[in-house]
Structure 1
Amino acid sequence: MNVRRITTTVEELLIEGGREVTPHAEVAVVLAVIDNPWAGQGFVEDLGPRIEEVAPRLGALLAPRVLEALGKPAEAYGKAAIVGLDGEIEHGSGLIHTLKFGDHFRNAAKATTLLPAVEKRAPAGTVFDIPLKHITDATTRSHHQTVEARVPDAPRPDEIVIGLAAAAQGRPHARLAPLSADR
């Protein structure tokens, strides 16, 4: 696994809707820019061997970093794979949609739900949204949110951006009725 760049962003929201947010809402995103392990090979029928090699290492690299950046327990989380233009969306999906990747984050965050994800093919500098959901109850509406991410020079055509995001809370001033109220 060749990592070219790691970016870490921490956002702290102080005012939303004209009202102070107390405590401040915090979201952390860690993105790793890696060489696409299937770049230049044409169509690869069996992605499994490289998934087995790369995905666990990525999970182990990113999970502690995003939680350390957040600096407090995560209540919501998500993941991303943005594949450069010479790759396939399946390349990114293969790396993040395995327990060998996601369980690093799930265990570190003491989470029980599946990680929501974004995966797509895009040119360098593309802005993308990482969806977040509650770490133990995906139906908790207050924690359905997104965080915007971008790496200015990635992914290059033969790269993949792999990311994790964590929020210390739900949306600021969340006031929607519980999902059960819709029934």
Structure 2
Amino acid sequence: MEIRKITTITEEILTEGGKEVDPVINIAVVAAVIKNPWHGQGFVEDLNPGIDEVASDVGAVLAPRVVELLGGKLEAYGKAAIVGLDGEIEHGSALIHTLKFGNHFRDAANATTLLPAVEKRGTAGIVFDIPLKHFTDATIRSHHQTFECRVADAPHADEILIALAGSSGGRPQERLAALSTEQ
């Protein structure tokens, strides 16, 4: 795995709707910009060798950093793969939609749910939203949210930007009724 750079984004939400957020909600994103392992090979039928070579390693790099940035308090999480223009969206999907990648985050966060994801292809500096959901119960509405990201110089055409995001809580000032009230 060739990592060109790792970018970290953090945010503290102190007020929402003109009202103090208590406790403060922290959000952290850690993104690795890596060389696309299938770049320059034309259409690759079997992506498994590249998955085996990269997915676990990139998950092992990103997951503990997100948990550390949140001080171990993670309640919602998500992932992203943004593929440079010379790659296929499937290249990003192949790396993040495998337990070899995702289990690093689930284990680091003591989580049980599947990570929501975004995958897309784009130019350097593309804006993307990482969806977040509760880490143990995907039906908890208060934790369904997105976090907007951008890495100014990534991905290059031959790269993939892989990111993990976590939040210390749900949406600030959430007021929706529980899903069970509609069932």
TM-score between the two structures when normalised by the length of structure 2: 0.99
Moved over 2 A (4+): none
Q: Tell me what 1:167 maps to.
A: 167
Q: Tell me what 1:122 maps to.
A: 122
Distance 1:5 1:31 in 2: 8
Contact 2:72 2:109 survives alignment (8 Å)? no
Q: Where does the alignment leave 5 or more consecutive residues of structure 1 unmatched?
A: none
SS of residue matched to 1:112: coil
Q: Tell me what 1:69 maps to.
A: 69
Distance 1:165 1:74 in 2: 10
SS of residue matched to 2:165: strand
Deviations 1:141-169 (A, max 9, x none): 00001111110000010000000000000
SS of residue matched to 1:126: coil
Q: Where does the alignment leave 5 or more consecutive residues of structure 2 unmatched?
A: none
Deviation at 1:98, TM superposition (A): 0.3
Amino acid at match of 1:172: P
Amino acid at match of 1:47: L
Contact 1:8 1:69 survives alignment (8 Å)? no
Deviations 1:43-82 (A, max 9, x none): 0010001101100000100000111111232100000000
**Is 1:145 the equivalent of 2:170?**
no
RMSD, matched Cα: 0.6
Contact 1:131 1:145 survives alignment (8 Å)? yes
Deviations 1:109-134 (A, max 9, x none): 00000000000101110010000000
Q: Tell me what 2:26 maps to.
A: 26
Q: Tell me what 2:42 maps to.
A: 42
Distance 1:24 1:72 in 2: 15
| Number of residue equivalences | 183
